[in-house]
Amino acid sequence: MEIVGSRRKNSSFSSADDAAVVSTIPLYRSAPELEVRLDDFELYAIHRLRVLKGISDGLSRGKKPNEMENLTKELWKVNMRNSEASEVANKDIISHYVLRLVYCREEELRKWFLSMETTLFRYRFQLETTDAQRALLKEFDLPYKAVSNAEYESVKEKLNQVVRSIGQPLSSADTIYYKVPFEQVPDLVATRRVFIFKGYAYVAMNQVVSLLMTQYRSHLSKALVLTNRKWTSMILEQEKDRLTPIVEALSTSYLGPDYSQPREYGEISLKDIDQVAKSSFPLCMRHLFEKLREDHHLKHGGRMQLGLFLKGVGLKLDDALAFWKAEFSRKVGAERFDKEYAYGIRHNYGKEGKRTDYTPYSCQKIISSTPGVGDHHGCPYRHFSEENLRAALDKMGVGNRAVQDVMDKVRNRHYQLACTLTFEAIHGASCDAGINHPNQYYNDSKNILESRVRATRMVDTLMYAEV
Ligand code: SF4
């Protein structure tokens, strides 16, 4: 693998004085020859994933372009920094290639990665200095020429009309235009931000990023398909003991806090559990909880999803055994429960088998599960029919208008955002970080509800003191 630096070919986009300027954005055209420690292999990928996930959340929350630019800058600064400058560049390249492996394996993963990496490229490009932007333009080596003075004068009025209609201030660089086939700049055409004449779009210097995004996306899209072929034909088997488990875990990895131990709210008692389920469980857990109460049984996937969640919210092992036994006994009898099901519960608490203290499932893991017939686990925003989801939201007390917003997010496959909107509608409070984990939903909900109880108590005390 080889790191691609800035090449200085004579290009239509070059200028005489940019010879010494190098862009900090690599084009990832060929993989670098670098040695990477296994720890860094995973860690760098997780850091880049945080950037891409942050961008994805920003986009789905409808952030404006200038807000996205600031968000990208911040995400990059927080996650991709390194004390040594040369390591920053290596980390950038290594993390990109590791995530290519992770996200090349399925159509849906490829689409997401392609879209987030292209958006990341866009904002990184916009944050570069003009000279660095020109240097990068040169690297693309595009076959388009700047419009000549004579041609510019002949279409100047039309070009200015477009500039005025999009309310963009003119700078000296805006008088440099490139003439490109209009299909090369689909986003400019779709938003009517470009003058088109005889099949050519006149792209201003400050819009050139759209052209580069098309090129970048097309190159990355092809590269992902090739990587997938290599992955399935060679790497998967060759690396089955070393890289394959890391790569497979990364696509569903949860990047937030560890909820394996209840920290914030200590224990949850059996006598409160029904009331707490109603007020503070996310829909996925509420649904499992209600099904368990109704059917006195849950299949393996449901037992794992709900059981680990309950452990994370503070249900002690003895209470967990009593809770599951009370339900299952009504269906299969106490003896069979002790023989067949109690082991699994103790196992989740690290008291059997490998004695691992298992972690509650994250949203990503739940969303990517595939419940079969008779299963009740999974994420309702992803796995329920529209009709069932509407009914469940209605039962939770989500108003009509909020239900519409939730359904919009579901249609666009933003399941965690749909859950965030539900949380906000029910609690009447915003959840800026978004929902990433059912146990985070629970903690945030308890935070809000308990602070309200404290505030009410304080008001009562003050009133009592005045009387
Ligand atoms: S988004 Fe997460 S917390 Fe919400 S219902 Fe789905 S899996 Fe549960």
C-alpha 117 to ligand 1 mean position (Å): 25
Residue 64 domain-assigned?
yes
User: What pLDDT was estimated at residue 13?
Assistant: 43
pLDDT-derived band at 169, boundaries 50, 70, 90:
low
Percent pLDDT > 70 in the chain is: 90
Q: Is residue 258 part of a domain?
A: no
Between CA 159 and CA 152 the distance in angstroms is 9
183 has pLDDT over 80: yes
Judge if the beta carbon of residue 363 lies within 6 A of ligand 1. yes
- The rounded distance, in Å, linking the Cα atoms of 410 and 284 is 14
pLDDT at site 145: 78
Burial of 266 per CB tally in 10 Å (0-12, 13-18, 19+)? exposed
Candidates 446, 390, 452; CA nearest to 418 is 390
Residues 219 and 352 in one domain: no
Claim to verify: residue 165 and residue 133 sit in the same structural domain: no
pLDDT for residue 467 is more than 80: no
Asked whether 426 lines ligand 1 (CB < 6 A), one says no
**Is pLDDT at 173 greater than 60 in this prediction?**
no
Residue 308 within a domain: yes
Structural contact between residues 194 and 180, judged by C-beta atoms closer than 8 angstroms: no
Of residues 145 and 223, more confidently modeled? 223
d(C-alpha 146, C-alpha 204), whole Å: 10
Report DSSP letters for 422-447, one per residue.
HHHHHHTS--TT----HHHHHHHHHH
Q: How far apart are the CA of 417 and the centre of ligand 1, in A?
A: 9
Determine whether the annotation assigns residue 104 to a binding site. Answer: no
Q: Judge if 201 and 234 occupy the same domain.
A: no
pLDDT digits (tens, 9 = 90+) for 415-445: 999 999 999 999 999 887 789 899 999 999 9
Q: What's at 382, amino acid-wise? A: R
Q: Does 18 score more than 50 pLDDT?
A: no
Give the Å distance between the CA of 395 and the centre of ligand 1: 16
Is residue 360 domain-shared with residue 246, that is, in the same domain? no
- State in Å: Cα 380 to ligand 1 middle: 7
**Are residue 286 and residue 434 in the same domain, yes or no?**
yes
pLDDT value, residue 264: 57
Q: With a 6 A CB cut-off, is 379 part of the ligand 1 pocket?
A: yes
The predicted pLDDT at position 320 comes to: 95
Task: Find tokens 């308990």 and name the residue.
Answer: 450
**How confident is the model at residue 172, as a pLDDT?**
52
> Which of 62-66, 156-160, 377-381 is most confident?
377-381
Q: Among 160, 180, 210, give the residue marking a domain's end.
A: 210
Binding residue per annotation — 431? no
Same domain, 240 and 108: yes
In terms of residue numbers, what domain contains 189? 149-210
Residue 116 belongs to domain with CATH number: 1.20.930.80
Indicate which residue's Cα is closest to atom 5 of ligand 1: 284
User: Does the Cβ of 393 fall within 6 Å of ligand 1?
Assistant: no
CB of 276 closer than 6 angstroms to any ligand 1 atom: no
Distance 257 CA to ligand 1 centre (A): 16
State in Å, rounded, how far the first CA of the chain is from the last one: 79
Q: Is 463 contained in some domain?
A: no
**What pLDDT is stored for residue 452 in this prediction?**
85
| Boundary of a domain, candidates 161, 180, 210 | 210
Instruction: Please tell me the pTM assigned to this model.
Output: 0.65
Q: Quick check: 116 pLDDT over 90?
A: yes
**Residue 437 Cα, ligand 1 centroid: separation in angstroms?**
7
**Residue 218 to residues 9, 29, 117, 223, 228, Cα–Cα distance (Å):** 22, 12, 12, 9, 16
Testing ligand 1's pocket by substitution, the residue of 367, 396, 413, 437 carrying the most ligand atoms inside 8 A of its CB is 367
441 shares a domain with 347? yes
Whether 366 is in the pocket of ligand 1, judged by its Cβ within 6 Å, is yes
Burial 201-222, CB ≥16 within 10 A → b, else e: bbbbbbbbbbbbbbebbeebee
Instruction: Please tell me if the CB atom of residue 211 comes closer than 6 angstroms to any atom of ligand 1.
Output: no
Residue 263 lies in a domain: no
228 and 112 housed in the same domain: yes
Whether residue 177 lies inside any domain: the answer is yes
**Alpha carbons 402 and 422: distance in angstroms, whole number:** 7
- Per the structure, how many domains does the chain have? 3
- Only one residue has tokens 């949860």, namely 254
Segment 217-272, tens digit of pLDDT: 999 999 999 999 988 888 888 888 888 888 888 877 766 667 777 665 567 889 99
Say if residue 379 carries a ligand binding annotation.
yes
What stretches of 204-282 show up as alpha helix (H) in DSSP? 208-230, 236-238, 243-250, 273-280
Q: Identify which of 280, 283, 285 to mutate to test ligand 1's pocket (most ligand atoms within 8 A of the CB).
A: 283
Atom of ligand 1 nearest to the CA of 415: 1
Q: Is residue 10 part of a domain?
A: no
Residues 335 and 190 in one domain: no
178 falls within a domain: yes
CB half-sphere exposure, 146, CA atoms < 13 A: 15
- For residue 342, pLDDT over 80 is answered with yes
Q: What is the pLDDT of residues 38-95, one digit of tens each?
A: 888 889 999 999 999 889 888 877 788 889 999 999 999 999 987 777 788 899 999 9
Whether 187 and 234 share a structural domain: no
Ligand 1 mutation target, pool 363, 409, 444, most atoms within 8 A of CB:
363
Q: List phi, psi (to 5°) of 346.
A: -65, -35
Alpha-carbon gap, residue 142 to 27, rounded angstroms? 14
Tell whether residue 419 is among the known ligand binding residues: yes
Mean pLDDT, the chain, as a whole number?
A: 86
The predicted pLDDT at position 354 comes to 66
Mode of pairing for the β-strands spanning 200-204 and 177-181: antiparallel
Considering only CA atoms, which residue is closest to atom 3 of ligand 1?
438
Ligand 1 center to 95 CA (angstroms) = 28
Question: Based on the domain organization, do 203 and 237 belong to the same domain?
Answer: no
Cβ pair 80, 48 in contact under 8 A: yes
Per-residue buried b or exposed e for 37-62, using 16+ beta carbons within 10 Å of the residue's own CB: eeebbbebbebbbbbbbbbbbbebee
Q: What stretches of 298-373 show up as alpha helix (H) in DSSP?
A: 300-313, 317-332, 334-336, 342-348, 363-367
Closest Cα to atom 4, ligand 1: which residue? 419
Same domain, 312 and 346: yes
6 has pLDDT over 60: no
